[in-house]
Amino acid sequence: MPFSPAGAPYPLLDELESTGGLRALAAAELPELADEVRRFLVNSVSQTGGHLAAGLGVVELTVALHYVFETPADRLIWDVGHQAYPHKILTGRRDRMATLRQKDGLSGFLKRDESPYDAFGAGHSSTSISAALGMAVAAKAAGEQREHIAVIGDGALSAGMAFEALNHAGALDLDLLVILNDNDMSISRPVGAISNYLARVLSSGFYNRVREGGKQVLSGLPGMKDLVHRWEEHMKGMVMPGTLFEELGFNYIGPIDGHDLPLLVSTLRNMKQMQGPRFLHVVTQKGRGYPPAEGDPCVYHGVTPFNPSTGQMKKKSGGRSFTQIFSDWICDAAAADERLIAVTPAMCEGSGLVSFSERFPRRYFDVGIAEQHAVTFAAGMACEGLKPVVAIYSTFLQRAYDQMLHDVALQNLDVTFAVDRAGQVGADGATHAGSFDLSYARCIPNMAILAPSDEGECRRLLHTAYLHEGPALVRYPRGAGVGTDVDSDLPTVPWGRAVVAREGGGVAILVFGTLLATAQSVAERFDATVVNMRFVKPLDEDCVLRMAETHELLVTLEENVVSGGAGSAVNELLHRAGMANRVLNLGLPDAFIEQATQVEQQELAGLSEEQVAARIDDALRAAGAVERAAPQLNSVKTPV
């Protein structure tokens, strides 16, 4: 059916309070229900923003799954969560979709504490099969009969973890259904994705040369006509995707049309009666049913609020983002140094590499959703004299921790990590927050860590890190900065040196990153010194010790968890030096901060300007330095 504009009625959806009501519908009503879900999804996300194209592609599959299986008793595990909005709509959360990705509202991903239908929380990809297999083991141990269904996209199936789980599952006699949602897309266009496997192999020159060569050889022998036919079928069998999954121990069915509801329902019913590991290959279209998303599913993967009739999105306010600063820098640096290679794990658009990929296609590598491979791949290039830059989100770098430590740092290889989305990320919430990179990277020998305070400094520190001969990590936040000027050339800063941004006395605020503007405003109240530290590692020890000698209170300020972060580095230095200064470490609390605006998340963390000032005031009063305290500060929100 064509897409209907906002305001159209939802007669079937309005009657559904649970999936039990869905299963009471006649099969002939399901296509109309799918149409209503699709229209509701577009109209809802047009108001809130969020992930759109992936959910549009699985509307029919979602309806069929909840129609055939007894959810939530049967465990339905969606990979990532981008594709789970229709699932939320059908599982009692339609009335709350207007709160999607907002403070105290619905998560943009799956959350166990949000609904019993969310069997497993997911914000990172490729976890569904492992989780479903674990649940199947638990059911068998408890003697319970239930189904376990993992829905995974072709992009997510490119990750090694998914194949580790498939390999294990095939060796166990457990009831597990893996559904491959093959939409020829991950987030960026897939690289080596399963979705292209069949067409690529069966149309490849190699396959056809071997097939035709074998036919010619065999056809020259008497009575070999039947054998020629079997040879051709055997060749197909060796390369069809079903063969791979069959060899792993799965009963493979597919590929089938993921938008044909009667076919989906009948196939799922048949597979429900089967036992053991099963694999259903479903082909869908990302953005299905909404012309703008069908035309550009990559752009409509994640959207800001938009006009549902035209698809036109509202422009984001603010200046140039840190991602754009990185995008410009890496193109300029690549033009100056042909050794520079860009590597990203399926985040070309998000990490700002579109321009680079167009200008330097032979020096650009999107490795798919494979963070571990991305880092070791870069390490291999560094061994041979290239200078790779790994563009990656902070939350995704966590997935490649061993490779960063063992394959890069241990060998002291010249790899630069451009770490986007450091700190709080707003609507994506806790699963995507870059709250931990300073802590998990700081303890790694040989790893340099740089934290720019604004856009101009971001460009300078990126180039400083790139020229450093060894592993270096530059972390910067989501969104725009304060709007500082950015150099057009490629300047650097002195290695490991901080800079005093404001001279004062009594209190010294040591800032690591983009909270510098907050610190400068707070410093006016206390006539405090402000130091833009710039380097977390190597720490400017001379500067820190000088501040400790001349100030009674040192305040460290960072958008990273306090535990093990930059403030901890200052504490360790003072302890080694035998200095007994009072130190106030301000950063993110020991808690996961859920989705909200970035400003709201700063307040939840106790890092707004008023809260920082109040906490400094409290520290001064506790130390007896009443003359330096600010008595007007008496009411602030308590951080989580």
Q: For residue 464, give every residue at least 6 positions away whose Cβ sits within 8 Å of its Cβ, in sequence order, or none.
A: 450, 492, 493, 495
> From CA 331, how far away is CA 612, in angstroms rounded?
38
**399 catalytically annotated:** yes
Catalytic residue selected from 94, 286, 475, 615: 286
Kindly name the residue from 399, 421, 534, 628 that is annotated as catalytic.
Answer: 399
Residue 294, C-beta contacts closer than 8 angstroms, at least 6 positions apart = 285, 287, 288
Tokens of 613: 């000032």
Q: Is 272 a catalytic residue?
A: no
Q: Check residue 199 and give its pLDDT.
A: 38
468-511 pLDDT per residue, tens? 999 999 999 999 988 888 999 999 999 999 999 999 999 999 99
Return mean pLDDT, the chain: 88
Active site residue 387: no
Q: Does pLDDT of 631 surpass 60?
A: no
The pLDDT tens digits of the residues spanning 228-265 come to 555 454 544 545 557 788 888 898 888 889 999 999 99
Catalytic residue among 60, 371, 558, 603: 371
pLDDT band with cut points at 50, 70 and 90 for residue 634:
very low
Task: Report pLDDT for 204.
Answer: 42
Burial 209-231 (b: 16+ CB within 10 A, else e): eebeebbeebeeeeeeeeebeeb
- Residues in CB range of 434: below 8 A, 6 or more apart: 393, 394, 395, 419, 420, 421, 422, 423, 424, 425, 475, 477
Residue type, 381: M
pLDDT over 70 (residue 66): yes
> Could you please report the per-residue DSSP string of 258-327?
TT-HHHHHHHHHHHHHS-SEEEEEEE--TTTT-HHHHH-TTTTSEE-SB-TTT-PBPPPPSS-BHHHHHH
Torsion of CA 392, 425, 427, 48, to 10 degrees: -80
pLDDT number for residue 389: 98
Contact between residue 204 and residue 192 where contact means Cβ atoms under 8 Å apart? no
Report whether 512 contacts 557 (CB < 8 A): yes
pTM above 0.75, yes or no: yes
Give the pLDDT band (50/70/90) at residue 624. Answer: confident
pLDDT at position 218 is 46
184-228 tens-digit pLDDT: 754 444 433 443 444 344 334 443 444 454 445 445 555 555 555
Q: What is the DSSP string of 32-79?
A: HHHHHHHHHHHHHHHHH-EE-HHHHHTHHHHHHHHHHS-TTTSEEEES
The DSSP secondary structure of 51-63, one letter per residue, reads: E-HHHHHTHHHHH
pLDDT average, residue stretch 335-339: 98
